[in-house]
Amino acid sequence: MIAGQGTRPQPGAALTVPPGPGLPRGLVIDAGELVERFSRASGPGGQGVNTTDSRVELDFDPSTSRAVAALPEATRDRLLNRLAAQLVGGRLLVVASEHRSQRQNRVAARHRLTAILREAAAPDPPTRRPTRPTLGSQRRRVDSKKRRGQLKTSRRTVDDG
């Protein structure tokens, strides 16, 4: 394979995002919507690092994806808004080069893309209702402050002056 050349995985290699918060039925991204590129990675590998294309770039366009388009409108908008800062030219690029083998880096890139999509689709956490401190906790706080002040006062030297 030529370095930097884009390839498409085999038809059975669709990316499956399991069900979770915001994705009750999960998400199946067709293999044709993913573009994988391979290049030479830096780092460990000895003499083999200069000969194998083990670095993997996984390229995905969420705005044109049929899987993303099939999501409910609120989920789709939330996902696209949260991914907006990570998009380069409208595409999401995930890079993996931490392993010596291309196969492990492909798996790592797919796991990373899955995690990014799950996090982006997750609903916002419920807003926190502010609560007032209880009377007892206020008293305990003031008492501990007074005790600390008394301790510091007891450390002072007595001035007979």
Residue 52 lies in a domain: yes
Q: How many domains does the chain have?
A: 1
Residue 12 lies in a domain: yes
For the chain, counts of helices (H) and of strands (E): 4, 7
Is this prediction's pTM over 0.75?
no
Residue 10 lies in a domain: yes
> How far apart, in whole angstroms, are the C-alpha atoms of residue 38 and residue 135?
63
Q: HSE-up of 115 (CA within 13 Å, CB side)?
A: 7
When pLDDT is cut at 50, 70 and 90, the band that residue 12 belongs to is very low
pLDDT digits (tens, 9 = 90+) for 99-133: 888 899 999 999 999 999 999 999 999 999 999 99
Range of the domain at 43: 6-121
Length of the chain: 161
Higher-pLDDT residue of 14, 42: 14
CATH number of domain containing 16: 3.30.160.20
Q: Is 42's pLDDT higher than 80? A: no
% of residues, the chain, pLDDT over 90? 47
Residue 143 lies in a domain: no
One-letter identity of residue 54:
S
